Structure 1
């Protein structure tokens, strides 16, 4: 009996021990797999959360914000002025309006901004709005322009300083003498030294938003700033800026068709290099400016012989200053004139075409061609 049922055989005990060992290993492996899975989930959550923190500022103002917006019921009370800067995004506008308590949250304004197809037309400047408005209403009234309290002043290319002063006085509802006094102060204290204290040519042709509390001095300084910004963007050296504006103002006055600017700029350079033999520009636009008349007025022989500093038919070289506010296109033409030996041009006022020539003989033939063409048209 002892031999049959006593101690368990060695092989049976070994098998059970091996089975328990395998089970223990499987349990340990499952624990390791579970821990690895939890670590992976945590890492993924951290990655997604960190990515959202980085991406969300880039989307601000251009996406539908997901959280529940806080909004005022409207219609709003009182009145407040807010200033929207040039190029402001929807998110930036939202911050300005939230600070002024026009809207209850940035979220509400951004969602309303994105939902209104006219919102992109909101103009920079000073807007007068009620406080505690519904965001949708704030976007709508800003987009239709009814809240904009700024005065808009548009200065066309080729306008002279005297014309600009008249326009500023009209828009600010002040006497022109007040604008002229402001111009004297700006010329003395604000203009770059290279301008020689003369405002002509430094009042950039553009459209300006004038805030309700702006003075004539503020407006004129803004025009000078815009000219400087334009010249800075074109990398024009400070010492060359007056000459560039003089040449560009002549191009502006003489050109009828935009595609001829670079060739007129070339003629100016070649005339200054003495291609005509006398170093004179011979530009009627400068003569007219020196006489205080428009280029459209008749330049009689008597007027052409009148010796002013701007009479480039009599005096070699550039005139002492610009003759108007040039456009960006004319400045670009001066900085990159056409290539060649062109020395003369004559314009057909009927067609707007200019005929260019390298020699005086060719120039006279061009003048005859235009005269005959116009005579035949009249006949």
Structure 2
């Protein structure tokens, strides 16, 4: 019924790298070291250490009977004297006016220039004075403790500052790097899951870059590095790290070693491409496909490889064994099928998972628009379920072309009448196997058919839309439009 088909652009490229974040964390630690070297607590403590305790001349006050600490303040913000205690004349509390002059010794509260037994205690308002006999009282412990702590903190701060400078200097050491775009040709393999450190090591080992660290430094600063794909690359030797990153992001560097299985590709096309790329004889690969048991097919594949080569991009280096590519393609299909529970969902619909793959392959070849897939699935299921006798066959052009070795162009009467199990114009029911590699959307369409009464669909050659019909009259109108747009059998 359809008049179009074929492969489409590969939309399912290999996974990107999400592992460079480890290297970014390395960069983060280095930055923190540099910060500690210039603005940490050690620097502040060192600055404080530069301020000496102003103190006072102990000898000058000794003559007047004042110990060095007798006026030390409990308030660290004061200038070194206690606030005037109750009962003192304010003139004596004013340290700015006191210079140890003996004139003050004549004051009634002071005897002989010192604290008298009567005057000292009495003037203190009964608080009592430790120097009641006129001797020196012990210095307070708090100012000395603070002084010791300031000195220790200054020493520690200087040590931290020094260590920080060393760490910062080591962390900032420029990595060895080449300049320019390099010379010659070097082939480098980037494995799946490689971090920027792994890539840098591989590049340095092949002398693409001067050091792995230079590449990591560039990759850490450029978010594009996260999109580097695994595979084989053709690079140059002695490239700057920045040039190497640009080359890894250039599709041309890996195009020679990449092969894409597109949605709608058949096993026959895949084998031809692998034979041409690897030099393996096509007959050898075709013999393998006739008995693909060694490729890891799921049980419901029925021993057929068609439909189970997952559309994606694969690495094909010069020494690649094409069998390994086929195994990887099957493994990717199985991984997708397991992740999306194709087998369980198929049986919930009352169908075998192998039948779902067959239907999905027909959908892939019949329509290009993803939104039309569920409707095509409904047409197929409606015809398979019809018991009126009107729709004994699926009558799909795509399966008929597959039976005729992927014939392109108008189908001949001989081809339409060919009694081939894949020719649904002549044989009732589903074909015995898939006819191409279905994309994920085609598989989802087969698992989630739309609700509708349709038994026909016609893909228009010019507008590329698909018209669905529930009866013969609607189908005749659709076919008239198909011919008007230049369509032919």
TM range (shorter): 0.7 to 0.9
TM-score normalised by length of structure 1: 0.73
Q: Greater share of helix residues, 1 or 2? A: 1
Distance verdict in 2 for CA 1:337–1:295, change over 3 Å: farther
CA contact (8 A) 1:125 1:150 kept: no
How far 1:129 moved relative to its partner?
6.2
SS at the partner of 1:16?
coil
Match of 2:176 in 1: 71
Gaps of 5+ in 2: 1-110, 165-169
CA contact (8 A) 1:255 1:261 kept: yes
How far 1:251 moved relative to its partner?
0.5
Structure 1 position 354 matched with structure 2 position 466 = yes
How far 1:339 moved relative to its partner?
2.2
Structure 1 position 15 matched with structure 2 position 125 = no
CA contact (8 A) 1:186 1:217 kept: no
Structure 1 position 212 matched with structure 2 position 318 = yes
TM-score normalised by length of structure 2: 0.58
CA contact (8 A) 1:249 1:326 kept: yes
Instruction: Describe the superposition over 1:40-60 as per-residue Cα deviations: whole angstroms up to 9, x where unpaired.
Output: x99xx9xxx9xxxxxxxxxxx
Moved more, 267-276 or 66-75: 66-75
CA contact (8 A) 2:278 2:319 kept: no
Match of 1:178 in 2: 284
CA contact (8 A) 2:209 2:240 kept: yes
How far 1:248 moved relative to its partner?
0.9
Give the distance between the partners of 1:194 and 1:18, measured in 2 at CA: 105
Distance verdict in 2 for CA 1:167–1:127, change over 3 Å: closer
Q: Is the radius of gyration larger for structure 1 or structure 2?
A: 2
Instruction: Describe the superposition over 1:81-130 as per-residue Cα deviations: whole angstroms up to 9, x where unpaired.
Output: 54213464434422444566765654321223356787566543124667
How far 1:173 moved relative to its partner?
2.8
RMSD (Å), alpha carbons: 4.4
Match of 1:109 in 2: 215
SS at the partner of 2:129?
helix
Structure 1 position 202 matched with structure 2 position 308 = yes
Question: Paired residue for 1:367, among 479, 484, 487?
Answer: 479
Question: Paired residue for 2:403, among 290, 294, 298?
Answer: 290
- The higher-RCO structure (CA 8 Å, 6+ apart) is 2
Match of 1:62 in 2: none
1:1-379 map, 5 Å: 8-9=117-118, 11-12=121-122, 14-17=127-130, 24=140, 26-27=142-143, 67-71=172-176, 82-86=188-192, 88-97=194-203, 103=209, 105-114=211-220, 122-127=228-233, 135-136=241-242, 138-144=244-250, 148=254, 151-184=257-290, 186-237=292-343, 240-274=352-386, 277=389, 278=391, 280-294=393-407, 296-300=409-413, 302-371=414-483, 373-374=484-485
How far 1:220 moved relative to its partner?
1.4
Distance verdict in 2 for CA 1:363–1:139, change over 3 Å: closer
